[in-house]
Amino acid sequence: MIPLSMDGYELLHDGVMAFTDIEATGIKVDVEYLQKQDVQVGDAILNIERELWRTKEVKEWKQRFGKKLKFTSDTQLAEMLFNQWKYKPTKTTRKGKASVDIAVLRKINSSFTKLILRHRKLGTVKDTFISNLLNNQSEGFLHPSFNLHTVLSFRSSSSGPNFQNQPIRDPIQGKIIRTGILPLIPSHQIGEIDYKGNEVISNACYNHDPNLVIYIEDPTKDMHLDSAADAFLLQPEQIGKMVRYVGKNSFTFAEFYGSYYANIGPSMWEAIAEYDLKTEDGISLYDHLRKVKIKTIDQFTDHIEEVEYRFWNERFPIFAKWKIKWYDAYLQNGYFDLLSGFRCQGPMYKNEVCNYPGQGTGFHFVLWSMTKLHQWLSSNEMETKILGQIHDSIVFSFHPKELQTVLRKARQIMCHDIRKHWKWINVPMNIDVEVAPIGESWNEKESIEIE
């Protein structure tokens, strides 16, 4: 990735300067709370291990591996599941070995695999998330690095710890970790300003698909709700928050990023059990689908194949044609240029070639806005500080008296000034805001309106 213009260079330069100040400010963590959680989660893991030792499966596992038995060994688990207990492998790793990932274990759905999944989840909380926060804090503050030079799509990355890799989707993991992250001082409020539909907007700037533009411009339309309706054969009034969430992340974005029905179908089918998905009137989606003669994962996957065909050929045909032309041009030239003034070059897979424009440009929206906000906060000697950047959002420690002033300025910069700066942005920009009460943790944030 190289800048092609002074505009691109200035974006990098200003971004580095802003991140330097943000890293120095740091992120406040509740060390005492995290230390207690480390002990409590460790005790919970030991209790699960005691339950595992009482199962007939682990007794057989012990006979097979003896003192080398290790609950966290994927190799041992795969040997027991597929060679000893004769479960059918449903997925392979990149190296062609039978996978024992979350989806595979959920599909087996035995009391034993449920214990293994709980053991894994808590192990990740303790050994990855809590451990990283405690090991990297100094006097109650984290100072993670935010990098602009490590990702080919020119999205940012983070390290020491990776602040962008905090658990969001899992409610148990998310609550434990987010409760340990605090505003800079007790009289502040921690919160986030998030670009709404950021990568959908950045993709529309490239493909100009009129149907995609309409979805963005018309607040009465909701592509993720429509995807959920098509995939699960529901009416809009039957779709709640979690069903829409699965439609958004497991279908719409999966399709945008290059996945296809053979992967999407099983993932969405398993998501019904994972999230206990129900219609708004309380009917399990499995029961609902059985009524329309979809009773198995294979039947559902065949149905998703039809939904996928309509998605690209009827809903977003211009987007589909753009992906073909864009990739053909890359094969001919060996590179492609981003609208924000950068060139991506070198060997890339087709999905990377088609995804990086939306990902890289979407991040540039966030980076440009963050640097302008940081400059404004600094020049006006505001007490509100930026703590970091996660994907499409900017995290703040707000001074309560400055909150609405900062939010109004953020809306001006992120929704209006940016379109004056980059006139090729062809659709409206919008933001969402979530802020916690004064002194409360990141876990307590709730949506608020800009006054």
pLDDT tens profile 403-438? 999 999 999 999 999 999 999 999 999 999 999 999
**111 within domain boundaries:** yes
Residue 392, both tokens: 């499409």
Distance CA 191, CA 444 (A): 9
Does residue 163 fall inside a structural domain? yes
pLDDT 10s digits, 2-46: 778 888 899 999 999 999 999 999 999 999 999 999 999 999 999
Q: Are residues 37 and 117 in the same domain?
A: yes
| Domain end marker among 288, 315, 342 | 315
Band the pLDDT of 103: cuts 50, 70, 90.
confident
pLDDT at 240: 96
Within-domain flag for 17:
yes
The residue out of 105, 136, 167 marking a domain boundary is 136
Q: Using one digit for the tens of pLDDT, what is the confidence trace for 240-290?
A: 999 999 999 999 999 999 999 999 998 899 889 878 899 999 999 999 999
Q: Does 102 lie in the same domain as 160?
A: no
37 and 21 assigned to the same domain = no
Range of the domain at 218: 210-315
Q: What is the pLDDT of residue 274?
A: 79
Q: Read off the amino acid at residue 197.
A: G
CA–centroid distance for 115 within its chain: 26
- Say if residues 268 and 304 touch (Cβ distance below 8 Å): yes
Instruction: List the CATH number of the domain containing 78.
Output: 1.20.1060.10
Same domain, 166 and 236: no
| Any domain includes 341 | no
Cβ distance 136 to 160 under 8 Å? yes
pLDDT band of residue 90 (cuts 50, 70, 90) is confident
User: Based on the domain organization, do 9 and 46 belong to the same domain?
Assistant: no
Instruction: Look at residue 169 and tell me whether its pLDDT is greater than 90.
Output: no
Boundary of a domain, candidates 289, 315, 341:
315
Q: Could you tell me if residue 143 is inside a domain?
A: no
* Phi, psi for 156 (deg, rounded to 5): -75, 170
Q: What is the pLDDT at residue 24? A: 97
Residue 285 lies in a domain: yes
Residue % of the chain over a pLDDT of 90: 87
Q: What is the pLDDT of residue 152?
A: 82
384 in the same domain as 443: yes
Residues 311, 376 within the same domain: no
Comparing 266 with 234, the larger pLDDT belongs to 234
Sort strands 446-447 and 342-345 into parallel, antiparallel or unpaired: unpaired
Answer whether the bond into residue 161 is a cis peptide, omega within 30°: yes
Task: Report residue 1's pLDDT band, with 50, 70 and 90 as the boundaries.
Answer: low
Q: How many domains does one find in the chain?
A: 3
Q: Is the pLDDT of residue 347 over 70?
A: yes
Considering the chain, what is the average pLDDT of its residues?
94
On whether both 80 and 59 belong to a single domain, the answer is yes
Angle at 391 between CA 434 and CA 123, to 5 degrees: 90
Q: Is residue 332 assigned to a domain?
A: no
Same domain assignment for residues 46 and 130 = yes
Q: Looking at the domain assignment, is residue 147 inside a domain?
A: no
Residues 18 and 163 in one domain: yes
Per-residue model confidence as pLDDT tens digits over 191-225: 999 999 999 999 999 999 999 999 999 999 999 99
What size, in residues, is the chain? 451
- Clarify whether residues 47 and 187 are in a common domain: no
Tell me the average pLDDT across 102-116: 89
d(CA 200, CA 188): 33
Residues 404-422 as b or e (16 or more Cβ within 10 Å = b): eebbebbbebbbebbeeeb
Do 78 and 115 fall within a single domain? yes
